[in-house]
Amino acid sequence: MRRDARGQLLLFGEVGLCSAAEPTGRLFSWRPEREGVGLRMCVLGSGSSGNCTVVQRGGSVMLIDAGFGPRATARRLGGTGIGLEDIGSVCLTHLDRDHFDPAWVGTFVQRRVRVHVLRRHVGELERIGAAGPLWRAGLLEEVEERPFEPIAGVCALPVVLPHDEKGTAGFVLRAEEGSIGYATDLGHVPEWLIEHFAGVSVLAIECNYDPELQRGSARPRFLKRRVMGGAGHLSNQQAFEAVRRIAACSVPRGPDHIVLLHRSRQCNHPDLVRGLFERDGDIARRLVLAEQSRRTGWLAVVPTGVAGRQRALVSG
């Protein structure tokens, strides 16, 4: 067993399942053709105009964030083999509008989708009028920094990260095949993020801005201070250093996929990001830049022992 940054024991079992998780109480739709689908994720879009990622294992499907409305999400799911009717739960990093669209509440209630949110964020959910309907439907589940089971066969550990006043939740998602580390909207990289994300098979982390473009932008001074002040967002260099540290802690192999999230359209550019990350050839070969306007392909966790450790990227 491992301990967190405060010395508390983590409850992941040896095979990566939630040894302390309660039954989910939901009957997931299990299509026969999906039984062989292992843990995989697809970023439907990431940026200041909306963030949403779909995670699947077998017939079980969940979202990380719901920053696009239900109709827009349904369109982005087109071609993935997944529909809104398949979503069993959503894990929210925080409640900023680009990460949670309140228009989802009626859909969540109608389709019995469970909503997992940090306890410290429930007050904001109440402020925007979303908590009441979810509470009454029995769908709102407060989480803290201990494992829970958002969908069948997947164990989630929230990791609280520095962002604005109440922080955000990063997530480590574990299944028998391997794990996903997901962190967006964080002002700096705390040591406990490196520790929790060491050894993940798919690493998704924010890479928001270029400092020179940020300082030279027409943005108001207070916004620049917020973004760059240690509790806002990660610069390209901060993200690069975090990825290198996580990869170095993940011997004998680093992540199969490295996904860069939440790139600023005003204060960043794909060429700047690629130019920096290509300094490390091993990282560059695994790199995926998430986009605001289109989704990635499916990024699959390749189980340990697969011949050649081939990276499984399925476009679609």
Q: How many domains does the chain have?
A: 1
CA distances from 193 to 100, 151, 155, 189 (A): 23, 23, 17, 7
pLDDT above 80 (res 34): no
Q: Cα(112)–Cα(173) distance, rounded to whole angstroms? A: 22
Choice among 48-57, 211-220, 248-257, 301-310 with the minimum mean pLDDT: 301-310
Q: Cα(193)–Cα(181) distance, rounded to whole angstroms? A: 9
pLDDT above 50 (res 15): no
Choice among 34-38, 44-48, 199-203, 210-214 with the minimum mean pLDDT: 34-38
20, part of any domain: no
pLDDT in tens, 145-167: 999 999 999 999 999 999 988 99
27, part of any domain: no
| Structural domain that includes position 40 | 32-314
Higher pLDDT, residue 103 or 25: 103
Asked if 100 and 65 count as a contact pair (C-beta separation under 8 A), the reply is: yes
- Mean pLDDT, residues 70-78: 97
Q: Cα(125)–Cα(134) distance, rounded to whole angstroms? A: 10
CATH code of 288's domain? 3.60.15.10
- pLDDT on residue 252: 76
Angle formed by the axes of helices 236-248 and 270-277, nearest 10°: 30
42, part of any domain: yes
23, part of any domain: no
- pLDDT on residue 83: 96
280, part of any domain: yes
Among 144, 193, 141, which Cα is nearest to 172's?
193
- pLDDT on residue 22: 38
Asked if 68 and 52 count as a contact pair (C-beta separation under 8 A), the reply is: yes
5, part of any domain: no
CA angle 145, 16, 45 (to 5 degrees): 70
Asked if 40 and 300 count as a contact pair (C-beta separation under 8 A), the reply is: yes
Q: Band of the pLDDT at 268, cuts 50, 70, 90?
A: very high
Question: Is the entire prediction scored with pTM above 0.75?
Answer: yes
- Mean pLDDT, residues 50-57: 98
6, part of any domain: no
pLDDT above 50 (res 316): no
Choice among 10-19, 22-31, 241-250, 280-289 with the minimum mean pLDDT: 22-31
4, part of any domain: no
- pLDDT on residue 305: 53
